[in-house]
Chain A
Amino acid sequence: MRLPVTAQSDEITHPKRLGYSYRRHLGERFIETLLFLMAFVSVAITIAIVAMLVKESFVFFEHVPLWEFLTDTQWTPLFDDAHYGILPLISGTLVSSAVALLVAIPLGTITAIYLSEFAPFAAREVAKPFLELLGGVPTVVYGYFALLFVTPLLQKIFPELPGFSLLSAGLVMGIMIIPYVSSMAEDSMRAVPMHLREGSYAMGATRFQTALRVVMPGAFSGIAAAYILGISRAVGETMVVAIAAGMQPNLTWNPMEPAATITAYIVQVSLGDLPHGSIGYQTIFAAGLTLLLLTLTFNIIGHVLRKRYREVY
């Protein structure tokens, strides 16, 4: 901004350094542009992810027709008798995710309700950081735990369970996801205004009734978002399934069997030494694209649900 400068009192009231400085102005503009570019990197990443997956998959689909990719029931791209059907990988992914969600959604919701509505202050102060720590344990460690602790434990209950199974991978994945689901669901429940609870208590409702009939519907959009986050985590989870579910593609809906997920297949191929540009190399991008579309689908469903049931206080 240009300061008003009068002729007679120039030096005394308005020294030069307070005037309009072209250099300073340019510096500010430069910094703003730089910061904008940094913020724009996140968009660039998204564009790069989509462009890269589509480009590499395009080469793949020139070699393998889309119809075969979607309907063939075998996935053996590295064998001499190569089949490129994504179904076995999708079934493995969906089964392990379903097991994980059967654990994470009920337990995560109960934890969230308990921490938000029931727990005394001290219990919450201890439990929240603890759950956060649980979410910070590396996934490869959970994989180790699933393979060497949970599987032998389950084998005592189900003697016919093989050494690799979707069941034990899914169970451990579920426990791993609980903190994500519970912390997000709890945040949205605590955002429900206190006067709604007070109204409910005034009508003679108990805490459980209030939680179930007032708080949960009020926080529905946030709870839905928490579930969607859990689903994304489960579908995209890699190390637990790669270690504990085996890496053999297997078209099955039975969690007691070993099977490979999309992510486990990508890991398996990456561990080998595939030349850049070979068909095997392109399969992991086609698999990656499928995985991204799968998580995108769930995210869109979640977005629609949130929009529809959003409560504004």
Chain B
Amino acid sequence: MKDKDLSEIRSIIARHKLWDFIFMILGVFVLMIAVLTFMALFSHMLIDGMPRLSLDFFTSFPSRRPGSAGILSAWVGTTLVMLVTAAAAVPMGIGAGIYLEEYAPKNIITEIIEINVTNLAGVPSIIYGLLALSLFVHQLGFGQSILSAGLALALLILPVVIVATREAIRAIPVVIREGAYALGATKWQTVWDHLLPYSAAGILTGVIIGLARAIGETAPIITIGALTFIAFLPPSPIKPDFPFISFEWLMAPFTVMPIQMFNWVSRPEEAFQINAAAAGLVLVVMTLTMNALAIYLRYRMRKNLKW
């Protein structure tokens, strides 16, 4: 080969290698944008909100004076709403996942259900709020209560739980099922004694991610008509006299963390925006902890998985 050709080829190779290198730098740079945004968001809230974070902030009701306002009713409300959401979404999502993975025959109804679960995940969350407003609040008469909010969020995270359950069950080898059937177990015995325990960690990961999403979800709850200023707590679930447990709190008016934060952000006074930063900090730490827990669980699972 002539020297000229060789040098030409070399220069082409060098040019393409340069492109490779440039793109790699670009990739790292773009990732850095994401990292820096997150840093900016977190540090901005930390600097503004940290001074407000004291025990008083967690034990006081919202107030017209920003200095003495707190998030007591908000975090209690969030906890109670999450209880309802988990109680509704977890059994229903796991049940649906088991059905689709283990029981469903290959027919048109199954296909409709499967396409439907995928599509539900793409419906904007505020639409679920409208559904809850029309169905739970007015038609079923639950009112603007913890029950309505919890159910609305349960519908919202149902696809997350279903998909996680299906993936976890699908990962279990067929050998396990065949072994159980060979010993005479019925389908449900196989599911209950083998498939569910083995897929528990995977399902739990999905449930945690779903609940973390539900905690931060604001729009559907605003649509239901949650109040932004609540200076009392719902009735206690434990009573001193028989039967000791009361469900009055289900019907109580409420507020939740993201709504409290939204309320403070949208006020013009700067002092309230500092409260918003503090509430946001609590909210972010809560959701990030849950997400990190889920990621860690998944990581552990992948490492220990030996069938």
Residue ranges of A at the interface with B (Cβ–Cβ < 8 Å): 18, 24, 27-28, 31-32, 34-36, 38-43, 45-46, 48-49, 52-53, 55-56, 107, 110-111, 113-115, 118-119, 127, 129-134, 136-145, 147-149, 175, 178-179, 206-209, 211, 229, 232, 235-239, 242-243, 263, 266-267, 270-271, 276, 284-285, 288, 291-292, 295, 299
A27 to B186, CA, bound (A): 10
Q: Provided the pairs A35-B96, A295-B122 are in contact, do residues A138 and B291 lie with their beta carbons within 8 angstroms?
A: no
Closest Cβ of chain B to A157, distance in Å, is: 16
Q: Provided the pairs A35-B103, A114-B31, A148-B273 are in contact, do residues A138 and B258 lie with their beta carbons within 8 angstroms?
A: yes
Q: Inside 8 A of B199's CB, which chain A residues have their CB?
A: none
A136 & B127 in contact (Cβ 8 Å cutoff): no
A138 & B283 in contact (Cβ 8 Å cutoff): yes
Q: Inside 8 A of B123's CB, which chain A residues have their CB?
A: 49, 236, 292, 295
A111 is contacted by which of B27, B95, B127 (Cβ under 8 Å)? B27
Task: Offer 29 A-B interface pairs, CB within 8 angstroms, sorted by A.
Answer: A31-B188, A32-B103, A39-B100, A39-B104, A45-B158, A52-B130, A107-B30, A107-B34, A114-B26, A114-B28, A114-B31, A130-B34, A133-B38, A134-B37, A137-B38, A140-B261, A141-B216, A141-B280, A142-B41, A145-B40, A206-B16, A229-B122, A232-B122, A235-B124, A243-B265, A267-B126, A270-B129, A270-B133, A292-B127
A238 is contacted by which of B117, B158, B186, B218 (Cβ under 8 Å)? B218
Q: Is B120 an interface residue (CB 8 A)?
A: yes
A49 & B127 in contact (Cβ 8 Å cutoff): yes
For chain B, residues 146 to 164, give those with C-beta under 8 angstroms from any C-beta of chain A: 155, 158-159, 162
A238 & B219 in contact (Cβ 8 Å cutoff): yes
Q: Inside 8 A of A145's CB, which chain B residues have their CB?
A: 40-41, 44-45
Q: Give how many A-B residue pairs fall within 8 Å (CB-CB).
A: 248
Which secondary structure characterizes the binding site on chain A? Answer: helix
B218 & A118 in contact (Cβ 8 Å cutoff): no
B188 & A139 in contact (Cβ 8 Å cutoff): no
A118 & B24 in contact (Cβ 8 Å cutoff): yes
Closest Cβ of chain A to B292, distance in Å, is: 7
Candidate in A136, A140, A285 with the most chain B CB atoms within 10 angstroms: A140
The residue of chain B having its C-beta at the shortest distance from the C-beta of A272 within the complex is B225
For chain B, residues 271 to 307, give those with C-beta under 8 angstroms from any C-beta of chain A: 273, 276-277, 280, 283-284, 287-288, 290-292, 295
